[in-house]
Amino acid sequence: MFSDRTVACLIEVIADAYTHTELDTLILKLSLSRHAEAGGFSKQQRLHNLFSSIRSLRNAREGERLIFSLAREFLESRVGDIDAPGMQHSGWLKRLRPLREALAADGWLFESGKLRPTTPSPAALAPEISELEKNLKELGFTTAITHYRQAVDNFSSGNYEATNGQLRSFLENLYIEICSEKTGTTVSDAVGALQRLRQAQQLDVGEFNLTRGLLEVSNQRGAHQGLTDRQEAQFRLHFSTALGRYLISRLLQTA
């Protein structure tokens, strides 16, 4: 959910960053034309009316999704990675500080050019996501990182069935890649990869059962509409992230 403070900050920074013509393009790009009918003379008034229309939707979840789409489009497309070298002199850090703080209070983190959820206890997920992506990139696991990033993006957008499907593909590819790295054997399926790792004594009994169990759960209840919700997708994202970090650290000695 996005608080009044976050919406107010979004109105201020978007109005500051876009011309009237660019606002028109933004509204068209995100299919928000019907919510922008009230208009307004100033950019802030136009945006205030736009957000008010979105938040008046009976389907609150849809309204939050549209606000998220606006926030992500602005931050990821217009701002980019404000933590990158040299960006501290661009003025964005100071201008966006109130928005970043408001988003953080609502459970969102804008870091490394991406707007991501910071999930509840037992631990904030966003730092672990960043570390796992870093590990996968360092190892050259390009297919695994593609599936993982798509899983995170789908979770952030509320597409929970798609999240589960991408997590399943991520795990399958990760197991196969780790098997190749540790045993020198290319195996075509994830279960075979785990069995080969067990035979090579790279996994103990508990680790083998854990990794295979998560894969079986992912296959039995994967990307099937109506069989998942935020809580389940969040659990799988937590579990898959933690397991990926553990396996890489344990078997490939990547911190």
Note the maximum CA span of the chain: 70
* Region of 30 on the Ramachandran plot (φ > 0 left; ψ -120 to 50 alpha; else beta): alpha
pLDDT at 176 (0 to 100): 95
Beta strands 114-117 and 108-111, pairing class: antiparallel
C-alpha 104, offset from chain centre:
15
At the topology level of CATH, where does 126-252 sit? Four Helix Bundle (Hemerythrin (Met), subunit A) (1.20.120)
Which pLDDT does position 209 carry in this prediction? 93
Amino acid 255: pLDDT = 44
- Rounded to whole angstroms, the Cα distance separating 116 from 104 reads 10
User: For residues 118 and 190, what is the distance between their CA atoms, to the nearest angstrom?
Assistant: 30
- Delimiting residues of CATH 1.20.120 domain(s) in the chain: 126-252
What DSSP line would sit under 165-202, residue for residue?
Answer: HHHHHHHHHHHHHHHHHHHS---SSHHHHHHHHHHTTS
HEC readout, 102-155: HHHHHCEEEECCEEEECCCCCCCCHHHHHHHHHHHHHHCCHHHHHHHHHHHHHH
Q: Which residues pair with residue 20 across a beta bridge?
A: none
Ordered per-residue pLDDT tens for the chain, 255 residues: 788 888 999 999 999 889 999 999 999 988 888 888 877 789 999 999 999 999 888 888 888 889 999 999 998 888 876 666 665 656 666 778 888 888 876 778 887 788 887 755 444 566 677 788 888 988 999 999 999 988 887 776 667 888 889 999 999 999 999 999 999 988 889 999 999 999 999 999 999 999 999 888 877 655 555 566 777 887 888 889 889 999 999 888 644
Indicate the pTM of the whole model: 0.57
